[in-house]
Amino acid sequence: MSENKLLDLSFEFAVAIVNLVDGVTAPKSSYMTDQLARAGTSVGANIHEAQYAQSKKDFVAKLEIALKESNETSYWLKLRRITSDKY
């Protein structure tokens, strides 16, 4: 583990999302799992990228993108949970 808890947690979250998506076998849910994978892994990627920001404004912007991606991930997880009995 690094000294940056946020980096560690966002990486673990991305791994959990990848494992979840890899476990989905229903072809009808492919659009949903694709979106979930993109949004869920983007959270950590943006947090990681923020560590190398060129300015404080750039740092904040990248973290704001990570927040938006986490909200999108939440949406796809809720939708998957509600529709999981169909897939």
pLDDT tens by residue, 44-86: 999 999 999 999 999 999 999 999 999 999 999 999 888 876 5
User: The tokens 């989905």 sit on which residue?
Assistant: 24
pLDDT in tens, 6-34: 999 999 999 999 999 998 877 767 888 99
Residue 29 near residue 70, CB atoms below 8 Å: no
Going by C-alpha positions, the residue among 4, 7, 75, 86 that lies closest to residue 43 is: 7
Residue 60 near residue 76, CB atoms below 8 Å: no
- CATH 3.40.640.10 for the 5-86 domain, yes or no: no
Distance CA 7, CA 9 (A): 6
Per-domain boundaries in the chain: 5-86
**CB-hemisphere CA count at 13 Å for 25?**
0
